[in-house]
């Protein structure tokens, strides 16, 4: 490996420890493809709400806001399609069949982001002395998913979130945001805005990678602020393993109990149901 490559790998590892977030340039996903994706995404979301809710589009993957919210501060002013990669190309039996061009573009974006996510996860695993594919082996097309997000302009901004503060329940996320802005991440107890850069993709470490790395890499809280003037679009790829995958710590002494991704998801869902909030990793700490 050349010195440049080693430097780049060290920079990725440092950012994952200190920020839990970084941006990548020269990521191999063309502007043209990302532009086409946004166009398709716009057309999809421009359908009437009624149709999005009832017509089983993209295998019934439509979600809006926070239907269970009981107060303004629990609400997310956004809507999304949340699609496992294995379902992008399936016939969706919807009454308003989503277009073939949308599915084709999604397939391309998913393929490219998946490759990038695996490369980056490989770099971060090797940095801790483990084989590149030691956990991405258990990530496949039915466990990873793509989320298409739309943040409509919001008359109640800035009191309302576009997306509630959260950490991602995966290994690693690749995100493409448009030029509007609004994404913020937590650094040293302060919210920091992630300025849109049309050439960059955003990468963030998820809860599973934090547990596996024994807290060396950080799964950092982030949120999206609603915007009173402009709607915003983003697309995210989530690198997830199968539910039966064990997420042990790769170092001793381990900070976390051994748990499977399925157990983690179940606990998150129970906490959200009971308290309205995800607790996440602290539930699995050994002491
Ligand atoms: O839209 C964004 O910028 C962030 C999306 C996000 O955090 C998520 O989908 O988990
Ligand atoms: Fe997120």
The torsion angle over the Cα atoms of residues 93, 98, 99 and 100, rounded to 10 degrees, is -50
What does the pLDDT average to over 163-185? Answer: 97
Half-sphere exposure of 232 (CA within 13 A, CB side): 23
Q: Could you report the per-residue pLDDT of 194-213, keeping only the tens digit for each?
A: 999 999 999 999 999 999 99
List C-alpha distances in Å: 247 to 99, 116, 208, 216. 38, 21, 7, 15
Q: Could you report the per-residue pLDDT of 200-253, keeping only the tens digit for each?
A: 999 999 999 999 999 999 999 999 999 999 999 999 999 999 999 999 899 999
* CB proximity list for 137: less than 8 A, separation 6 or greater: none
pLDDT at 93 over 70: no
Ligand 2 ion local residues (Cβ < 5 A): 168
Ligand 1 near 79 CB (within 6 A)? no
The confidence score (pLDDT) of residue 89 equals 84
Q: Where are the domains of the chain?
A: 3-284
Ligand 1 near 114 CB (within 6 A)? no
CA angle 83-86-91, nearest 5°?
80
What does the pLDDT average to over 167-187? Answer: 98
List C-alpha distances in Å: 3 to 10, 15, 16, 54, 173. 11, 18, 20, 55, 27
The confidence score (pLDDT) of residue 74 equals 81
Q: Which of 204, 230, 186, 191 is nearest to 77 (CA)?
A: 230
Which residue, judged by its Cα, is nearest atom 9 of ligand 1?
Answer: 236
Q: What are phi and psi of 60, to 5 degrees?
A: 60, 40
Q: What ligand 1 atom has the least distance to the C-alpha of 151?
A: 1
* Higher-confidence position of 272 and 171: 171
pLDDT at 59 over 80: no
* CB proximity list for 173: less than 8 A, separation 6 or greater: 203, 204, 206, 236, 237, 238, 239
pLDDT at 55 over 80: no
CA angle 206-52-49, nearest 5°?
110
Ligand 1 near 187 CB (within 6 A)? no
Does the predicted interface ipTM exceed a cut of 0.95?
yes
The confidence score (pLDDT) of residue 97 equals 57
Instruction: Tell me what percent of the residues of the chain surpass a pLDDT of 90.
Output: 80
List strands edge to edge, sheet with 145-151: 21-24, 201-205, 172-177, 232-239, 145-151, 79-84, 62-64
What do you get for the CA distance between the two ends of the chain, in Å? 40
What does the pLDDT average to over 155-175? Answer: 92
**CATH match of 3-284 with 3.40.50.970:** no
What does the pLDDT average to over 110-130? Answer: 97
The confidence score (pLDDT) of residue 90 equals 79
* Contact assessment for residue 77 and residue 71, using Cβ atoms and an 8 Å cutoff: no
Tell me what the pLDDT averaged over the chain comes to.
93
The confidence score (pLDDT) of residue 81 equals 94
Cα(236) to centroid(ligand 1), Å: 7
What does the pLDDT average to over 258-282? Answer: 93
Give the rounded distance of the alpha carbon of 107 from its chain centre: 17
């Amino acid at each position: 490996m050349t010195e440049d490559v080693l430097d780049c790998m060290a920079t990725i590892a440092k950012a994952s420890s200190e920020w839990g977030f970084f941006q990548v340039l020269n990521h191999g996903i063309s502007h043209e493809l990302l532009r086409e994706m946004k166009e398709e995404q716009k057309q999809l979301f421009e359908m009437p709400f009624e149709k999005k809710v009832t017509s089983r589009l993209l295998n019934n993957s439509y979600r809006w806001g926070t239907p269970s919210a009981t107060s303004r501060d629990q609400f997310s002013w956004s809507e999304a399609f949340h699609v496992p990669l294995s379902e992008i190309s399936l016939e969706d039996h919807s009454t308003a069949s989503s277009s073939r061009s949308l599915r084709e573009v999604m397939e391309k974006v998913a393929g490219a982001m998946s490759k990038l996510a695996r490369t980056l996860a490989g770099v971060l695993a090797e940095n801790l002395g483990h084989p590149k594919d030691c956990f991405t082996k258990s990530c496949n097309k039915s466990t990873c998913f793509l989320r298409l997000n739309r943040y409509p302009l919001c008359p109640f901004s800035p009191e309302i979130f576009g997306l509630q503060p959260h950490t991602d329940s995966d290994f690693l996320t690749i995100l493409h945001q448009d030029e509007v802005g609004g994404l913020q991440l937590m650094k040293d107890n302060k919210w920091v805005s992630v300025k849109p850069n049309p050439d960059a993709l955003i990468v963030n470490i998820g809860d599973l990678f934090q547990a596996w790395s024994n807290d060396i890499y950080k799964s950092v809280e982030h949120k999206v602020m609603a915007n009173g003037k402009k709607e915003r679009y983003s697309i995210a790829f989530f690198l997830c393993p199968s539910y039966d995958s064990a997420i042990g710590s790769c170092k001793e002494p381990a900070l976390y109990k051994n748990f499977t991704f399925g157990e983690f998801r179940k606990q998150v869902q129970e906490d959200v149901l009971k308290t309205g909030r995800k607790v996440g990793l602290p539930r699995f700490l050994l002491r």
